[in-house]
Structure 1
Amino acid sequence: MDPLHGDLLARLERFYDAVPRDVARAEEHGALVLFVRDGAGWPFYARPRLDAAEPPSLADIQSVRERQRELGLPEAFEWVHENTPDLLAVARSAGLGVLEAPLMVLDPAALPDPATLTDVPLRMLDPDAPGFAADVAARRAVAAVGFSAAGTATGDAGPAERDAAVTELDVAALDEERTRIADGRRVSALAGTAGQGALASGMAMRVDDVAEIAGVATLPSARRRGLGAAVTATLAHALRDAGTDLIFLSAGSEEIARVYLRVGFRRIATACIAEPTALI
């Protein structure tokens, strides 16, 4: 492996390990570590331990799954194939289905101006704005509707379905969101119009000079208008302006990866996401 490529993958591995640690406890199961969130919020996953001398075994996976079932957590595992190549076969032998997602890194020189990608207004979420709570709820609702109809094809689901998916956030969730944006660990963006509201959304998590863009989603009725690419570019510009050196993401499919190619992302590896086969 090229030394520079290997160093980049090592930086990503440290990022993946660091992200959950401020809100979750780490439980070691052999060569795997399971992150268990303290309190409410999106559940985390298990992934290879940074300091493991051996690749994860079938027994390690079984131990984690038993613990996840005991805690009522999704039986979810994530890893970078190029960093832990033996885990793919082991996970499949354990009855897990594995999504092999293109892992892509931004070439800053190829990052376009978001305004060239769509004519729909874009904006960053501001934790001090009066409408911040509504913006966070809208971002989550757009993601819920968008990811329920995966892919890039247009569909019927639109603003009405988004509004039906809006849920009221508790004070703790909003405080966490405000704190993470204020200290630079998170950025969020919306694309939409005054008449239709939020049509696309996305966010990014940041640790030091590395950030992952995630949760980019567009309402099916608003697809094929460049919104996903524009939201991604908006987030990338904000991260670059904040001094982020390495920006990456995982595409859900080769089709979706082509959207990110337009924004300057290039594939460097494969992100593996494993769940019980019936859920894939």
Structure 2
Amino acid sequence: MPTRRGLLDCVERYAAAAPLADARMVPAGTLDVPIGSPAWPHPARPRPGTGRVPADDVRAAVVLQEDAGLPAAVEWVVERTPSLGAAAREAGLLATEFPLLVVDDPVELMLPAGVRLYVVGAEDPALPHYQHLLETAFAPHHTGPDHADPDPEDLEGPSDARAGVLRERVASGRTVVMVALEDGEPVGVGSHHPVDVDGTEITEITGVASSPRRRGRGVGAGLASALVAQARETADMVFLTAGDDDVARVYERVGFAWLGSTGVAARPPHG
């Protein structure tokens, strides 16, 4: 496996290549801003190899995004562009760091009895519902005393435009969605997004979540393990950004290793 520096280079090259099929790239100083459909936005990122990013470049990127109807968002590899967090905060964004992990020594974990997995097809009528679960991590509109799962009929799905983009991405192989079912109901979802980077396939796992009622049974870890196995059938590198240190430790159980940190900056709530 490449050195840590080489792996961080791979993450940056993946991030630069991932938006190209969806958006045109507009420079904002040291940042590249993908301008495309609001149904599937990509964050602005520092150009690979960029050292220092001034706050004015972040402000310029935000203007481009908001003029295009896109959310103000910047992401970066902290170890490669350490100045960007302070620049984002100076520009009025809320900046946070999250664990960045890469598959090192994958471990196959079994799912609980009665839970089965399948890869979702582009024509599956439930795909918009699975997309909603990917984006909300099974969050109910309200939490009752028994923390029951929400009724699928009560959940809002993604917009028609976003559902259409997702179907196209699944059909073209640019997004792979996997769902875990128990008694016909989804109890876990996850996805990954393969990109050809200079002849090497790299993929990012996103949105792995399990039903609150099934947590602690190993559904999430088993699903992550299955996603890694499926992704590694064609990908040379698999990575992800974890929501926090506790989640990162779950991924370590399935063979991920800590690589660094992902910086994420966005408008503060009600900002």
TM-score (norm 1): 0.83
Asked if the contact 1:101–1:252 (Cα under 8 Å) also holds between the matched residues in 2, the reply is yes
AA at the equivalent of 1:36: I
Q: How far is 1:171 from its partner? A: 8.1
Q: How far is 1:275 from its partner? A: 1.2
Question: How many residues matched?
Answer: 261
Query: Using the alignment, how far apart are the partners of 1:179 and 1:69 within structure 2?
Result: 25
The answer to whether the aligner puts 1:227 opposite 2:226 as a matched pair is no
Asked if the contact 1:145–1:157 (Cα under 8 Å) also holds between the matched residues in 2, the reply is no
Query: Using the alignment, how far apart are the partners of 2:146 and 2:76 within structure 1?
Result: 32
AA at the equivalent of 2:204: E
Asked if the contact 1:145–1:165 (Cα under 8 Å) also holds between the matched residues in 2, the reply is no
- Corresponding residue number in structure 2 for 1:202: 190
Asked if the contact 2:189–2:209 (Cα under 8 Å) also holds between the matched residues in 1, the reply is yes
Asked if the contact 2:193–2:204 (Cα under 8 Å) also holds between the matched residues in 1, the reply is yes
Aligned with residue 100 of structure 1, among 97, 102, 112: 97
AA at the equivalent of 1:45: P
- Superposition pairs of residues 103-252 of structure 1, within 5 angstroms: 103-107=100-104, 109-113=105-109, 116-119=110-113, 120-127=115-122, 132-134=124-126, 136-146=127-137, 148=139, 156-160=147-151, 162-167=152-157, 170=160, 173-174=163-164, 176-195=165-184, 197-208=185-196, 209-241=201-233, 243-252=234-243
Query: Using the alignment, how far apart are the partners of 1:145 and 1:178 within structure 2?
Result: 18
Gaps of 5+ in 1: none
Counterparts in 2 of 1:166 and 1:123: CA distance versus 1, 3 Å: farther
TM-score (norm 2): 0.86
Cα distance per residue 1:63-82 (max 9 Å; x no partner): 11222232232111100001
Counterparts in 2 of 1:29 and 1:155: CA distance versus 1, 3 Å: farther
- Percent identity over the alignment? 34
Cα distance per residue 1:229-265 (max 9 Å; x no partner): 1221111111112x21100000011111122111111
Asked if the contact 1:158–1:222 (Cα under 8 Å) also holds between the matched residues in 2, the reply is no
Q: How far is 1:25 from its partner? A: 1.3
Query: Using the alignment, how far apart are the partners of 1:168 and 1:89 within structure 2?
Result: 33
Query: Using the alignment, how far apart are the partners of 1:210 and 1:46 within structure 2?
Result: 20
Query: Using the alignment, how far apart are the partners of 2:26 and 2:182 within structure 1?
Result: 45
Larger mean Cα displacement after TM superposition, 256-265 or 221-230:
221-230
Gaps of 5+ in 2: none
Task: Determine helix, strand or coil for the equivalent of 1:17.
Answer: helix
Query: Using the alignment, how far apart are the partners of 1:166 and 1:80 within structure 2?
Result: 33
- Corresponding residue number in structure 2 for 1:263: 254
Task: Determine helix, strand or coil for the equivalent of 2:137.
Answer: helix
Tell me which protein shows more helix as a share of its residues.
1
Counterparts in 2 of 1:253 and 1:231: CA distance versus 1, 3 Å: same
